[in-house]
Structure 1
Amino acid sequence: MENLVYFEYAIAGIIRYWLLNSDYKQIIGDRVEISTPLNSWKKVTEGVYLYNEGIDPYSGDDFHETPLGLFIFEKMIHHIPQCIGVIFILCDLLTAHILYQTAKAFMNELYSRQTKEKSKYAKDAGSLLLKKPDLALPPVYVASAYLFNPYIIFSCVGQTTTVFANFCLALTYLSMIKGKRIICCSILALATFQSMYPATLLVPASIYLAQADEKSLDGNKPLRIRNFMTTIIVFLTALMLLLSISSQLAEISKLINTIKLLLNVPDLRPNVGLFWYFFTEMFENFRLLFICAFQINAALLYLVPLTLRLHGEPMLLAASLTALMAIFKSYPSLGDVGFYLALLPMWKHLFNYMQQGFVVGCFFLTTSVMGPIVWHLWIYSRSANANFYFGVTLAFATAQIFLVTDILFAYIKREFSLYHGMRREVNGKTTKLVLE
């Protein structure tokens, strides 16, 4: 199985290298579904050029990277410009390998937890249990889903900084499941420093890191609470350290410039998200109200209810929050969507309980094809308007919401069947659970 994965790495690397050196690179990099004001490599190069010319790149409204990001990218462009494409490819392949290792650890964890709780399961739930052979394929599927997902490939070929953001998220997942508190909090702080929304992953990370010390805690609640507090303190310390480093590189107001872009959404160029169209049509008097509503929906609204329901399954909680982040944040891209789609094979054992797979698949395929077509009709042919393109992005977001709710409901149905048995009767009649 390991040899198969390494073969996939080689094929995926060749595909990315060929596209990076083809005429399609510029076309892909200019697509609004791939590049946003926050992750565009073209904006990075413009900012670095202005910086090298002694012009403040933050003086306008076109550069939104953090001062730390500007420093790192300036070194890359100045010292190793010929290797930048290779760096993007290697980072993408390394992200896939980290997700592969994460999936392996998660499957072993699932099997270990099943072994401990097997005595609590219903007698007729044997067919639902994971077998040893079932643990081998999901990690390979995870790596494949990342390596060969067109959304991820296009994001790499377009040289978006989402490639580095996905690397940070993958490393957060791996260190989280391995119980490495300092690494997990430091990488999560770096991801939060870049785009703010990953801060929600501190909740599942805290749960996982507390579970890692559970044996030594012996169920002691005060010590468990102390464990949560330690995780939060380490995260905040890492975040303060990043702020301190950035303040040494540039004025703190430059960092605020990036945060303002995320919160206020001043750049309304179309993307695969929902913000741009609403705030194009919004009356200025109501802008603050709807900004608050949209940002709460993207960052906080689902955090508490999902945590209360999935506190025993923190990896699914983390994946759900990552998916909701990709759907509702202010400047999403297809690279964000491709990342959480690659995580889904870890719950392959839930696929039999999913009901919306065909509908979601058709939506994804249709919207992925129709997006560029409608964009061409709107921008170039002038035979369509913004409503057409927003209709596609709205359908795309709807498909993602269907997918998230379907996988969560599948988890609940399987959990119910494990503890209560396969047969369900109401008034003597056989029934089944359906999603209303």
Structure 2
Amino acid sequence: MSREKSEKWRENSSERQCYKTGTILLMYTIGASIRYWLIFSRYQSIIGNHIEVSTPLNSWKRVSEGLYLQSKGINPYEGDLLHEAPIIMLLYQTLTRSLNLPVEIMFLITDLATAVVLYFVARRYMFQLFTQQEHHKDEYAEDGKEFLLSGPDFLNSPVFVAAAFLFNPYTIFNCVGLSTIVFHNFFLALFLCFMLYGSVVLSTLFLAVCTMMSLYPVILVLPLFLHFLEIYKSKTRGFCVVTLFAATIVALKVVSSALTNGDDYMRGVYGFILTVPDLQPNIGLFWYFFTEMFDHFRDLFICSFQINATILYLVPLSIKFRKDPFLLTVAVLFLVSVFKSYPCLGDVGFVLSLLPCFIHLFNYSQQGFLVGVIFLITSALGPILWHLWIYSNSANANFYFGVTLAFAIAQIFLVTDILFAYLKRQFCLKHGKERKIDGKDALLILE
């Protein structure tokens, strides 16, 4: 980036800096206060026990029991109690023993730290959009330049991202319910941050940690490869990034095996994620389908569902959006939060918090109102129908699954709307307002 562009960015960023600093401090204070009040209130146990927040993979109660068993010299992976990788358990053990803080405060601090990291993620992404805009400005159509980002867009987006995370009910409930997805989101935010800032070692390290925690982030190695391929302009160096990621995964796996004197944990952690033996209801799509499935079809549909959650959409999306790896990453995270085997509200809340990074696409989206209404209705009806089904015995599983299915559809509508908005904006920048081909009106269709 030239010196002139850097100076122009600094001038845009310095505007209303005092106001932004004060706003951010106030947001963090209010966000921390809300979490602190709920964590130490009588609502904490209610929130923490809800299936939308707590799953077999992210329950802190299971982690606590696993740490206790480890302290007594008992293997916590015997049975169906613990589904956290040994190296992640070592992290939890270190945190609980070294920090003289209540567990609740540890979760609160980690959640606030995630909001801080996401602020810098959005700030760096807006910086990249600014450099791309300045570099390609001469290639845009004359009547399409009104769609370019302005100073307020660059300034507001990071603040909106931090606010979306701090005041998102999904992330608040996730923190209050003491779900270990709080730590997963923190490491995922660090991965995004170091990827955008161009740190190969740290981005691969934190992506490897996220993969060890929940397996599904392994597919983010392709957006990581595309990002550094765009930076280095060299396929060899891009594949070196993938190799480093694979080596980091192997190293973490070796450490985990050394901690447990074997690989028995693999079945209880990653086998549990892939084979979905626990059909406790959640906001995902697996549990209902496999409750009704005949056993002799199970393996076929397990493979189908897992392919759908991982590589099915990855390759076509990577080809189409290879020029914007961050947008691709967010799209993949959206799909994973819908189709993974044991999703929770924390997964959805994290990706929703990143939407203000694409504030420049909102004018092109068409499904915002519909998606917002569905989110509101399903978020309210989910706990109600769960209570009617389990406690009042006046509903059944079909009612609750109908709500979770609508919730998943809203997420699909949202991610497709954002991706389509990106394509429409790129078209308008290049060809201008009028959509004509050979002098005739054209219709832009997402294929």
Give the TM-score of the pair, scaled to structure 1: 0.95
394, 406, 423: which one pairs with 1:412? 423
1:133–1:78 CA distance, 2 compared to 1 (3 A): closer
* Whole-angstrom CA distance in 2 between matches of 1:305 and 1:364: 27
- 1:139 is the counterpart of 2:153: no
The question of whether the paired residues in 2 share the 8 Å contact of 1:108 and 1:135 is answered with yes
- 1:246 is the counterpart of 2:265: no
- 1:34-62: CA deviation from partner (whole Å, max 9, x where unpaired): 01000011111122222223332111112
The question of whether the paired residues in 2 share the 8 Å contact of 1:76 and 1:84 is answered with no
* Whole-angstrom CA distance in 1 between matches of 2:228 and 2:437: 41
CA drift of 1:278 comes to 0.4
- 1:310 is the counterpart of 2:310: no
CA drift of 1:82 comes to 4.2
1:45-124 superposed matches below 5 A: 45-78=64-97, 80=99, 82-124=101-143
CA drift of 1:194 comes to 1.1
CA drift of 1:212 comes to 2.8
- 1:228 is the counterpart of 2:238: yes
* Whole-angstrom CA distance in 2 between matches of 1:69 and 1:81: 19
Q: Secondary structure at the match of 1:376?
A: helix
- 1:176 is the counterpart of 2:195: yes
1:194-273 superposed matches below 5 A: 194-214=213-233, 224-250=234-260, 251-273=262-284
* Whole-angstrom CA distance in 1 between matches of 2:400 and 2:411: 17
266, 274, 283: which one pairs with 2:294? 283
Consecutive unaligned residues of structure 1, counting only runs of 5 or more, are 215-223
CA drift of 1:68 comes to 1.4
Identity %: 49
* Whole-angstrom CA distance in 1 between matches of 2:92 and 2:153: 42
- 1:77-125: CA deviation from partner (whole Å, max 9, x where unpaired): 4555742211111111111111100111111110110111111111110
- 1:178-202: CA deviation from partner (whole Å, max 9, x where unpaired): 1100000011001011111101111
- 1:159-181: CA deviation from partner (whole Å, max 9, x where unpaired): 11100000111001010011100
1:280–1:90 CA distance, 2 compared to 1 (3 A): same
* Match in the other structure for 1:218: none
- 1:259-281: CA deviation from partner (whole Å, max 9, x where unpaired): 11110000100000000000111
Q: Secondary structure at the match of 1:136?
A: helix
The question of whether the paired residues in 1 share the 8 Å contact of 2:144 and 2:432 is answered with yes
- 1:195-222: CA deviation from partner (whole Å, max 9, x where unpaired): 11101111111122233334xxxxxxxx
374, 385, 388: which one pairs with 1:377? 388
RMSD after superposition? 1.5
* Whole-angstrom CA distance in 2 between matches of 1:164 and 1:396: 24
Moved more, 9-18 or 179-188: 9-18
* Whole-angstrom CA distance in 2 between matches of 1:355 and 1:399: 13
- 1:242-266: CA deviation from partner (whole Å, max 9, x where unpaired): 0111111102111332011110000
The question of whether the paired residues in 2 share the 8 Å contact of 1:67 and 1:255 is answered with no
CA drift of 1:70 comes to 2.2
- 1:361 is the counterpart of 2:372: yes
174, 190, 199: which one pairs with 2:209? 190
What amino acid does structure 1 have at the position aligned with 2:179? T
Q: Secondary structure at the match of 1:307?
A: helix
* Match in the other structure for 2:410: 399
The question of whether the paired residues in 1 share the 8 Å contact of 2:77 and 2:264 is answered with no
Consecutive unaligned residues of structure 2, counting only runs of 5 or more, are 1-19
What amino acid does structure 2 have at the position aligned with 1:3? G
- 1:277-319: CA deviation from partner (whole Å, max 9, x where unpaired): 0011110000000000000000000110000000001110000
What amino acid does structure 1 have at the position aligned with 2:249? L
CA drift of 1:147 comes to 0.6
* Whole-angstrom CA distance in 1 between matches of 2:225 and 2:253: 22
Give the TM-score of the pair, scaled to structure 2: 0.93
